[in-house]
Homo-oligomer: A and B are copies of this chain.
């Protein structure tokens, strides 16, 4: 028995998230079915980030124990049977007992916003289109406030399975670049890395930051939420299609 590590990219649009659920098309369900088809037997897969419905991944990491395989060959065979919206970017051997979820030191997410008066057909389902003006320095101030250790209770649903609400944010910054193809406006990306994330955490952070950036909420109010404010005081949950699990560090 060998331990395998997969790096997986997917367009989350057609899936009901990662976690396998009976009767629903999920990324984890598709990966499990592909592995079973290739290996003959079912395997138990663990994953670094259980993304929600519609959320994308550039660098999801999964692990499983199974028979010895040639890594490149395993990736090729998986891609041949997986749906087009899921791609195994790399397969590699891992140390015995490696667990993609438990051993992850941090996760990095990226939330993409098309800040433009005109929509882009090429960002449809790939970025949140935001035609209203945004003050970049206010977004930056929000991101700076998020850095460090906070109680993020305000940024996850009230009905929760989480038991610990503190998270350590190692990086949080907005970056911008011209839209591609060229068009008015720009793409704003929130890059956020933390030890772990709670359900909806990035999306509620972004939804609340956009209220600050648009002038509908003060920076002081935003900062106050980071001390464990109630969910109802934070902003809306930004839609899933702007969110990407970018990378996982071990």
A223 at the interface (CB under 8 A from B): no
- Knowing A11-B124, A84-B124, A85-B124, the reply to whether A119 touches B182 (Cβ < 8 A) is no
How many protomers of this protein does the assembly include? 2
Interface centre among A88, A90, A182 (most CB of B within 10 A): A182
Residue interface bits A199-214, CB-to-B below 8 A is 1, else 0:
0000000000000000
Once the chains bind, are B11 and A58 in contact (CB under 8 Å)?
A: no
Interface centre among A118, A184, A244 (most CB of B within 10 A): A118
- In the assembled complex, how far is the CB of residue A248 from the closest CB belonging to chain B, in whole angstroms? 13
- In the assembled complex, how far is the CB of residue A175 from the closest CB belonging to chain B, in whole angstroms? 14
What CA separation (Å) do A174 and B118 show in the bound complex?
A: 30
Once the chains bind, are A181 and B9 in contact (CB under 8 Å)?
A: yes
A222 at the interface (CB under 8 A from B): no
Once the chains bind, are A84 and B9 in contact (CB under 8 Å)?
A: no
Binds B, one of A36-44, A72-80, A92-100, A154-162: A72-80
A89 at the interface (CB under 8 A from B): yes
A246 at the interface (CB under 8 A from B): yes
Secondary structure type dominating chain A contacts: mixed
A120 at the interface (CB under 8 A from B): yes
Once the chains bind, are B122 and A9 in contact (CB under 8 Å)?
A: yes
Contacts of A87 in B (CB 8 A): 118-121, 183
What CA separation (Å) do A183 and B90 show in the bound complex?
A: 9
Once the chains bind, are A121 and B246 in contact (CB under 8 Å)?
A: no
- In the assembled complex, how far is the CB of residue A4 from the closest CB belonging to chain B, in whole angstroms? 16
Once the chains bind, are B184 and A121 in contact (CB under 8 Å)?
A: no
A86 at the interface (CB under 8 A from B): yes
The 7 sampled A-B contact pairs (Cβ below 8 Å) are A59-B182, A72-B117, A76-B117, A79-B118, A84-B121, A89-B118, A89-B183
